[in-house]
Structure 1
Amino acid sequence: MRLVGYTLRLLELERASVGALCAALGVAPPPDWPPPLFDAGALAWFIAQLRADPAVAPWLGNYVVADIASVETLVGSAGFKGPPDADGNVEIGYSIVDAFQRRGFGRQAVGLLLDRARNTMGVRCVRAETTRDAVASRGLLAACGFRYAGERPDADDGELALYALDLAAGR
């Protein structure tokens, strides 16, 4: 599995069609797109972030590409929601298309993001949030070493479960 960082060109191709995006990536398209929670609003947000400051690209999203029956295939998205803050906190997000969920791709993607965070000077804590009823996502975070850190209300998604992984404790 590999992560391919978002660029303005790739995001604009995605906006046009998933077929155009997959052609540019040289991968097979998924049976459905976009993955859950990666809607037009999220796509527009990433485009705006890259237009405002191209230097933040390493701290934004990635396309998740995995081997499906010996064919490299677009299976989801995963990345950071911006660079680390002044305290060394960074937040991740991930989403795998329904057809490819529960195959370990989300866990592998989170593992790659954690490796990147661990190898970046100054990152002390990785955070994530998911809906309270997303049992599989909550299990994935726990399996990756995150600890439950409470809840917060969200106008669109209801109560969100918050998770954190203290990297500073392991250094």
Structure 2
Amino acid sequence: MRFVKLSPAALQALIAGDLDAASAEAGFRLSQYLADERWLWEIRLADIEKNPENAEWIARAAVAQETDGEIVVGHGGFHGPPDEDGVVEVAYSVDPAYRRRGHARAMLTELLARVDADERVSGVRASIRPDNAGSKATIAGFGFFKIGEQWDPEDGLEDVYLRSKRTTSGR
């Protein structure tokens, strides 16, 4: 699994529904699934405009090796840079056409490796709807513990999980 950075120009093209322009800007053929996530790209573009450093953390196209070659299977990243406590919130989504093939776990594995290597990060947060059994299964075994609940205006009630950063010394 690898992630392709989406520049502000690529995000603008996705928001406009111009998949060809977005793909040209990204340097990789993006998917209709990404183009259909306009609401997300509007939020992430606003995040970048507010703080250009956010571009290093936000959602990227997730590219997996399939039998037909490399293909965009979804997107993954974080809601933004580490907060004042050094915590980032992970976010990933798999195109329904590619679900149940291990892509979510592969995305999460890569995203956690990234934060484990970053000295600015002390932990990773995940927010999951209580009825989302697939997402709960995805984070199982990665060291996440439920720490509470929150209300999300878009998703409703969410369980909040936290994973402390793993260091190279095994702590």
Scaled to the shorter chain, the TM-score interval is 0.7 to 0.9
Alignment of 1:119-138 (within 5 A): 119-138=117-136
Deviations 1:49-78 (A, max 9, x none): 112222221121111011222321111110
Normalised to the residue count of structure 1, the TM-score between the two structures is 0.86
Q: Does residue 112 of the first structure (1) align with residue 113 of the second (2)?
A: no
In the other structure, the counterpart of 2:14 is: 14
Aligned runs of 1:31-70 on 2, under 5 Å?
32-34=32-34, 39-70=37-68
C-alpha displacement of 1:10:
1.6
Higher relative contact order (CA 8 A, sep 6+): 1
TM-score, L = length of structure 2:
0.86
Q: 1:104 to 1:19 in 2, by over 3 A?
A: farther
Would you say the 8 A contact 1:128–1:162 is kept in 2? yes
Measured against aligned partners, the alpha-carbon deviations of 1:55-107 in whole angstroms (never above 9, x if no partner) come to 22112111101122232111111001111112111111000110111111111
CA, structure 1 residues 124+19, in 2 after alignment: closer, same or farther (shift >3 Å)? same
Shift in alpha-carbon separation, 1:73–1:152, aligned structure 2, 3 A: same
What is the one-letter code of the residue matched to 1:18?
A: L
- The letter for the 1-side match of 2:14 is E
Q: Residue 21 and residue 73 in structure 1: after superposition, are their counterparts in 2 closer, same or farther (change >3 A)?
A: farther
Contact 2:122 2:165 in 1 (8 A): yes
- How many residues are paired up? 168
Q: Aligned equivalents of 2:155 and 2:161: distance in 1?
A: 16
Q: Which residue of 1 aligns with 2:159?
A: 161
Which of the numbers 98, 101, 114 marks the counterpart of 1:100? 98
CA distance in 2, matches of 1:168, 1:87: 16
Name the CA shift for 1:7/1:25 in 2 (closer, same or farther; >3 Å): closer
Instruction: Structure 2: give runs of 5+ residues left out of the alignment.
Output: none
For 1:138-149, what aligned pairs fall within 5 Å after superposition?
Answer: 138-149=136-147
Instruction: Give the SS at the match of 1:143.
Output: coil
Give ranges in structure 1 of 5+ residues lacking alignment.
none
Q: Is the 8 A contact 1:147 1:164 kept in 2?
A: yes
Counterpart contact for 1:125–1:167, Cα < 8 Å = yes
RMSD of aligned Cα (Å)? 2.2
Looking at structure 1, the residues matched to 44 and 154 of structure 2 have their Cα atoms a distance apart, in angstroms, of 18
Give, in whole Å, the separation in 2 of the partners of 1:61 and 1:29: 13
Q: Is the 8 A contact 1:28 1:72 kept in 2?
A: no
State the one-letter code of the partner of 2:8: L
Percent pairwise identity: 32
